[in-house]
Structure 1
Amino acid sequence: MNATQPITGPHSVPDWPRLAAAVAHDGTGTLTINGVNRACKAESVAALRTGVVARGVAIATRLRRPIRLDVTEDGRTHALAVRPEGYVQLIGADGTIPAPDGLGIDEGRCRVCRRLQPVTSAECVQCHIEEPLRVEVAPPAEPNALMVPPAPQMRPSIDELDELDDRSPVEQTRISRRAAREATPPPPVLHLMFNTQRSVDAGPRIVLGRRPESIDGREAVTVITPDRLLSRTHAAIDVDDAGNIIVTDLDSANGIELQSAPPRWLTPGEPTTIPDGSTILLGDVYCTVSVAP
């Protein structure tokens, strides 16, 4: 996603993941992510605030949406939204934020070389250290572990417990594995029909292009482009948890046009939900996208 393209209009901010920061005037504090507490320290309270926001931006960028950050300072807690583009806004009473018109992006100094850079920097522009604005005393935990929402826990009934007690450990292991497979629905399948080649079935997270490179673990799907109007890595297509199809123009040279009535161009870098079965024009290639039943 292009971090310079903000989501426009009123936007709801989910409660997950749960981020909270406590800020003290001596530049120390804590950052809590989904119940995991980490001590923080910076040269000043302003640098601590900036570092906490930078951590929020990194998480928002992975999720490709604003996230909530509750900041407590001087006994008062402020509900903030941190956008992937680096903007910070107060969350309204209805849980939404407006478009970030007129807002600026905070900057801080690299923790190693002291180069000034925005909170969106994942790597220092000068010394190339990762997380240049990090204020957490210890390196952050594996991000995927913090980003997975908690699954509901189902407690077995008394009869089920009695039955399990009568089984051998091997039987219990086999039954547990089978139950886990049956409880987990299969991932959705994207069905892609092209005017230049055969149809393709792929996973729920893909990138398309002339010679695409995988982005964030997405499956790469190569597309034949007769006039070479398709960029090397042209678009990302994802299916979210609700089954919606989301298309993102990855700053392609010739763009993406949704064949709606009337047709409209997608904004580069901005994830756009399209109806199931829609056709999009990628350079010189028409592609109809649907979720396989």
Structure 2
Amino acid sequence: TNLISGRSYTVTAQANANTRSGAFYRDGALINTDSAAPFNFTWTPAVLGNHTFAATPWSSTNGTGISGATITVSFTVVTASPTPTPTPTPGNFAAVILATEPANLKGYWKCDETSGTTLVDSSGNFKNLTITGVINTNYWLGETGEQGTCFRTDGVAGYASRNDAVIPSLDNTNFTLFALFKGGTDFGVAAALAISNSTTANDRARIGQNKPTSQASAQARGHSTTAMASSFSGGTAFDGSWHSVAFRRNGTAFNLFVDGTRVASTTAILATGSTSNRTSLMHILRSGMTAYAKGSVQHAAIWNRALSDSEIVAIQTARTNPTPTPTP
């Protein structure tokens, strides 16, 4: 019999009606006596290895007059087996995203393609992204990610986009942007997942890096530079490991999440009149010169709804727990 070191056990000895007390020995040394039936005591093993327990019944309460045979048992004290780390299950992770406010999921790109020039939209809205660049030079497909395979870009010319916005206007529209990113402090872009307008720096929402730090960054801008002209940032998302980044708008409240934890918040009133006409991954399409991301991305998603804290946490939990359930 194996006993786990550090775990408490109750040792009990059954005896006949003439027994008035019981003495317990471990490896020949007395460790406890009990004068009330049932005769037992609680013991927490600490010394690893093979041991013996013996219980001797006595016909008196002072340890005289043996009333029965001594019973001896052998056991081994072992360390507890470590709790295995759950293995991420890409299919289940995707299922949680697809089950989260599906009517409001406007675009979802798993980035699990292994060849070609298209990142397929899994939301059912047919919003595929077209990849720009030379494969295996500016971008790579089929590389191992955290949740299946991922899309990696070189920071020079690789990205994916489409010539419309999955949210065509930010006017009075809540949203949530989400993606898994892997990159270092040289990731290089503040807009790794974005909706934008190709002719202006306004009319956009995006998430990415607060370069050159390891923090995540987010920004939304309506049809003016006066509201939320500066981004806000927090958390650790670009340290060479995979992290989830989410950006939520709920009315005038804006929240940034890293790995399911809210790391920054701000408020703003976005100017109305916005029109967006691009959706992009790893390089924003707007007026002016913009950078290209150097790193990897997978499971990018955009909702035209403010997901609840619990829904964002459920998606994060799905990274390691195979059966989380999103809660509105």
Name the TM-score, length of structure 1 as normaliser. 0.23
Higher relative contact order (CA 8 A, sep 6+): 2
Q: By percentage of residues, which structure has more strand?
A: 2
Larger radius of gyration: 2
Q: By percentage of residues, which structure has more helix?
A: 1
Name the TM-score, length of structure 2 as normaliser. 0.21
